Amino acid sequence: MSDEKSRDGGRAYRMDKRAQDVAATRQDIVEAAVRLHGSLGPAATTVSAVAQEAGVTRLTVYRHFPDAEALFAACSAHWGSFQTYPDVATWLQARDPADRLRVALTDLYRFYAEGEPMLTRIHRDREALPPTIQARNAGAEVAQLEALLAVFTTVRGAARRRRLTAVLRHAMSFWTWRSLCLDGGLTQREAVDAMTSLVLTTAGLPPG
């Protein structure tokens, strides 16, 4: 009986050890892909490069992630677990157009600053991202834009709404933040002030 228990215990230990090894290898692959996405960008990150960075074979990568979409989803989830994403629900608590705009842009620009190395490459290579990731990102951008448009109730008419929408998109853009803060040397607050004034002026409201 004791021999049977010993054999069962040994088998269980080996299975548990193997599961741990598999999980560790998967994590190594994900972390390797994240590093490459943040340095080379998604468009230049090949399976071979990920395998070399993780110290495994290409076949091992494919065993864990059968396609680019699965690997990118895992990378996105891993990187995202260390980020604080913009919180649209918090934006909606501000009822005044200027207040909501400032809250939103401060939140967005904070996120851009914290994730800049990765976000620069993700936005640059956005057309190379898997379709489901592109759709997810686009959906988030639409939700953010609608949260801001909703508070500008006094702006009516197709032409005025079209101009406001275009300027809001510009103010919310990662590239606008990068141009103002990284290239132009503005502080986060100065950038928020500048874009808030532009949007409010476009909306026909006092620039704040």
Distance CA 69, CA 126 (A): 13
- Which pLDDT does position 3 carry in this prediction? 57
What Å distances lie between residue 93 and 44, 136, 140, 149, CA to CA? 41, 24, 18, 14
- Which pLDDT does position 54 carry in this prediction? 96
- Which pLDDT does position 20 carry in this prediction? 82
- Which pLDDT does position 29 carry in this prediction? 97
Q: What H or E segment, with its residue span, contains residue 190?
A: helix 188-202
What is the per-residue pLDDT across 81-107, written as a single tens digit (0 to 9) for each? 999 999 999 999 999 999 999 999 999
Assessment of whether the complete model's pTM goes beyond 0.75: yes
CB 30 within 8 A of CB 48: no
Region of residue 55 (left: phi > 0; alpha: psi -120 to 50; beta: else): left
Q: Spell out, as residue ranges, where the chain has pLDDT lower than 70.
A: 1-15, 208
- Which pLDDT does position 116 carry in this prediction? 96
Instruction: Give me the DSSP letters along 129-160.
Output: S-HHHHHHHHHHHHHHHHHHHTT-TT--SHHH
Strand, coil or helix: 49: helix
Strand, coil or helix: 74: helix
